[in-house]
Amino acid sequence: MPRSHHGPRLVLYSPDKRNGAVPKRGFKTYTYYVVWSEQGRKREIATRTADRSVAQEKLREVLEGLSVTAMGQLDPASPRPARQVTVAEVLDRYGQDCGPTRRDPRRIGIAIERLMSYWGSLTVADISEAACQAYEDKRREAFAQQEAERIRTITARGGKPKPARVLKPATVRRELGVLTAAVNYAASKKMVFEPDKPRLPPKSPPRRDYLTRSQIARLLNAARAMPRARLHLPLFILLAFYTGARRTAILDLRWQPHAAGGHVDFERGEIDFQGSAPRTKKRRARILIPDRLLPFLLYAHQRNKTAVIEFEGRPVREVKTALRAAGRNAGLGDVYSHMLKHSAITHLLDRAVSRWDVAQWTATSMETLEAVYGHPSPEAQERVRAALR
């Protein structure tokens, strides 16, 4: 039976087995060798060093020196140099293997489509800080052209278009984050050898918008006055404010345990937002049902069949548009779901609830609580100032 082909790898030869080395007769020192097999024959090149970082550079040289034909004769599972792997291959592999298992496959698909238009014909070796900056500039230019076309189309029809939007840095960061994940996955699957990682734009500063209790009341009244949202949107607002849960955790709630999210347990008086949902960095809490929220949940349980948040007998999948409309009708501008979580945390901190308890109740890490939400509200600052008089 012929020997299998193995791609180049580093092997530490030495006089003994210490440090994970391979003992070899006649050796008195530790030395790294680049070892591979080609057409059933073992080949090796001495790096003349025991420093792994220096040996890695020699391994890179060997990989780049191998011809495409020679590489084709090696084990397909062996990593190839970054200059021989296109970004399109990496994105395609990541999209097929990992896309369907992610929380939002549609968003992954959109990001890959946008990345392909610029990166598809490039190789992994072409990934650099300058290339990432060029991608960001191209995306901003293309987005501006799309907005200009949208405005021209609406104006030509006699309509009044909304002002042109500007591409947010967070959008580009999210797309390059998908590229980073794809490159990391390719490296883990030995598609590519030691690829360079994309440079991500800096994170946007955290939003510090929140609503007071009186503003929450105005938002609820506006939501109840919306014919198509008067039943499900107020309940969503109440759940978000009293629990501090994220939008997806609330929309995944059911009356009975299920495989994709949490449920409301009236018998124990709890809301288990995690349930059987896949565990991610976005934590989900298990909390007691707040007294003021309980009547609304009981009423919704009588009305809704399966999901806690339903519209016309079907689970609601998104509330962004309705929530934004309710915010404008209430004179509060654009209201987004995370603003309700921020409002819940700010309200609890103002009521002197300990930060540890707030973090547990809202499934927020202490680090995030300090960095994003740990600022005093104007009401709290006024109380402190009054105490100093």
Q: What is the pLDDT of residues 103-140, one digit of tens each?
A: 678 888 899 999 998 888 888 888 888 898 999 999 99
Locus of tokens 């042109």: 164
263-265 and 31-38 as β-strands: parallel, antiparallel, unpaired?
unpaired
Average of per-residue pLDDT values in the chain: 84
What token pair was written down for 159?
């309509």
> Does some domain include residue 340?
yes
Residues 177 and 96 occupy one common structural domain = yes
> Does some domain include residue 53?
yes
Burial 359-368 (b: 16+ CB within 10 A, else e): bebbbbeeee
Residues 291 and 230 occupy one common structural domain = yes
Burial 275-301 (b: 16+ CB within 10 A, else e): bebeeeeebbbebebbeebeeebeebe
Residues 171 and 231 occupy one common structural domain = no
User: 374 and 355 in contact (C-beta within 8 Å)?
Assistant: yes
Once rounded to an integer, what is the mean pLDDT over residues 41-45? 77
Q: How many domains does the chain have?
A: 3
User: 345 and 244 in contact (C-beta within 8 Å)?
Assistant: yes
Residues 230 and 180 occupy one common structural domain = no
> Does some domain include residue 198?
no
Closest by CA position to 44, among listed 64, 54, 25, 58:
58
What token pair was written down for 294?
């309980």
Q: Is the dihedral of CA 240, 245, 248, 249 positive or negative?
A: negative
Give me the pLDDT at residue 67, please.
45
pTM for this model (two decimals) = 0.63
What token pair was written down for 313?
């007998």
Give me the pLDDT at residue 265, please.
94
Residues 273 and 292 occupy one common structural domain = yes
Once rounded to an integer, what is the mean pLDDT over residues 186-195? 79
Closest by CA position to 231, among listed 138, 147, 149, 296:
296
Residues 241 and 278 occupy one common structural domain = yes
What token pair was written down for 34?
């680049």
Q: Is the pLDDT of residue 101 over 90?
A: no
Once rounded to an integer, what is the mean pLDDT over residues 319-348? 92
Enclosing domain of residue 49: 9-78
Q: Is the pLDDT of residue 379 over 60?
A: yes
Distance CA 106, CA 97 (A): 14
Q: Is residue 270 classed as helix, strand or coil in its secondary structure? A: strand
Domain CATH number, residue 335: 1.10.443.10
Give me the pLDDT at residue 39, please.
61
